Amino acid sequence: MGPVQAVRTCFTKYADFRGAATRPEYWWFFLFNLVVSVVLSSAHSPLISTLYSLAVLVPGLAVMVRRHHDAGRSGWWAFTILIWPWALVLLAYPTKAHNNKYVAGRGEAGVTEASLQGGARYCPVCGKLRLPGQTFCSGCGAKFDD
């Protein structure tokens, strides 16, 4: 996700505290707000600077909550913003791709080795289980011929 798309997404989901926000989405929005705040404060207009800060408060909190959801934590962790170093560490955590109860579709995998019946196939190079529809092995990257 590019910087423009990330900022657009955060403003589109102005007060949406559900779902997830990736690391790039959060950090591009953070950088955008930092730059705009510096520009506005250097313009010596405290009223406009204050109004902008109030306008981005809700989407800033929303993207922070969604970022915590993406890492598999409750949105309540957003209150760690009061402890700056710790908040930055938490917001830099990677995406929790499996068994993430905060993001729909990131639960248990739909196709597992146990759910395949009889016709299970394996990679001829590394022996990893081949899931239906795969054209490349997720273990070694070998291309499947059939």
Alpha-carbon separation of residue 76 from 19, 32, 80 (angstroms): 14, 24, 8
Give per-10-residue mean pLDDT for the chain (146 aa): 89 91 91 94 90 94 90 82 74 82 64 55 78 77 79
Alpha-carbon separation of residue 26 from 15, 55, 73, 112, 113 (angstroms): 14, 17, 15, 32, 35
| pLDDT recorded at residue 114 | 52
Is residue 9 within 8 Å of residue 2, measured between CB atoms?
A: no
| pLDDT recorded at residue 138 | 74
- Measured N-to-C along each axis, helices 46-55 and 23-42 cross at an angle, to the nearest 10 degrees, of 160
CA 103 from centre of chain: 10
| pLDDT recorded at residue 52 | 95
| pLDDT recorded at residue 128 | 77
| pLDDT recorded at residue 77 | 79
E strand residue ranges, the chain: 121-122, 129-130
| pLDDT recorded at residue 92 | 83
Q: Distance (Å, rounded) from C-alpha 66 to C-alpha 75? A: 7
**Model confidence, pTM:** 0.67
**Domain spans in the chain, listed from the N-terminal domain onward:** 3-91, 110-146
| pLDDT recorded at residue 133 | 76
